[in-house]
Structure 1
Amino acid sequence: MEFEVYGVDDTTQLGIKLGELLKPGDIICLTGDLGTGKTHITKGIAKGLGINDTITSPTFTIVNEYEGGRLKLNHFDVYRVSDPDEIYAIGFDDYIFSDAVSIIEWANYIEEILPKDLLHIKIEKDFESDEDYRKITLTPYGERYDYIKELKL
């Protein structure tokens, strides 16, 4: 599925709608260049889950955990991970094979250790034309994500 959005508000709104649909144990893998909106869509997903905390990218801590919504959220940023052993050292499997929703920014950096069932979200931005425009492509892997077809912006 593809969505065309314009600006932070639309990107966040798509995240909210997605967050309202997510189920326990869902794994969301985000890819896209710097500045495309990976953290903004994550903020929307958190809001859609009912989490009211301030969401920040865990660039230096690798993972932030958020509770207080209908589901717990594990938010990973693996931009600085240079070796899969580094991510395993923090208990990666315990996080992603739990009842929490796990969002992984820069998931392409660790794709060799990701489970086969996941929802991939690719965010593309044309930096030369309209700086607010983004194309967001959702690709489900595994039958558990069939419900994504219900997503409307």
Structure 2
Amino acid sequence: MKSEYILKTEEDTKNMAKEIAFDIKNKIIFLNGEIGAGKTTFTKYLVEAFGLKDEVCSPTFALENRYETENGLIIHFDLYRLKSEEELDMIGFYDTLKENATILIEWADKFNIEKYIKKYNIISFKIEDNNIRAVTIK
């Protein structure tokens, strides 16, 4: 799996999602980047790469969306609206981290979640000039 990508088009995002889909299967992934950087678009194409052509939307208001695909469960969190770790506990966030699923977490950097997780990856999206996205994977 490459660690850096330059995404000039939405098709590039789709290709990246396809390329890394099975490398990140059943892992916890923090999706970092400002609003509009491409986190939800990436999730849409990851769900598609896992075999489900379903409507994918940001879980900003629902907080969590689940996608049962032919290649396993994808759980997508958006923690943007949450203010405290207590709220994470109230929505069952920490229990969900134990599920056998690919777990994508937007805005994980608002909290100190990594202290509860032994293994995770970070995919960071940065908007550059001409609407290009620079993506790094750690």
Q: Which residue of 2 aligns with 1:3?
A: 5
Distance in structure 2 (CA, Å) of the matches to 1:22 and 1:120: 11
The correspondence of residues 55-66 of structure 1 with structure 2, limited to 5 A, is 55-66=56-67
CA deviation vs aligned residue, 1:97-123 (integer Å, no higher than 9, x gap): 11111000112112x123131010010
C-alpha displacement of 1:54? 0.8
C-alpha displacement of 1:16? 2.2
Equivalent position amino acid for 1:138 in 2: I
Equivalent position amino acid for 2:119 in 1: D
Q: Which residue of 1 aligns with 2:37?
A: 36
Q: Which residue of 1 aligns with 2:22?
A: 20
The correspondence of residues 69-84 of structure 1 with structure 2, limited to 5 A, is 69-84=70-85
- The 8 Å contact of residues 21 and 46 in structure 2, kept in 1 or not, is answered as yes
Q: Which runs of 5+ in 1 are unaligned?
A: 140-153
Equivalent position amino acid for 2:130 in 1: D
- The 8 Å contact of residues 47 and 69 in structure 2, kept in 1 or not, is answered as no
Percent identity over paired residues? 32
Q: Which residue of 2 aligns with 1:137?
A: 136
- The 8 Å contact of residues 20 and 45 in structure 1, kept in 2 or not, is answered as no
* Count of residues in Structure 1 that have an aligned counterpart in Structure 2: 134
- The 8 Å contact of residues 16 and 46 in structure 1, kept in 2 or not, is answered as no
Q: Which residue of 1 aligns with 2:119?
A: 117
C-alpha displacement of 1:23? 2.9
Q: Which runs of 5+ in 2 are unaligned?
A: none
Runs of 4+ in 1 over 2 A off after TM superposition: 20-24
RMSD over aligned Cα atoms: 1.3
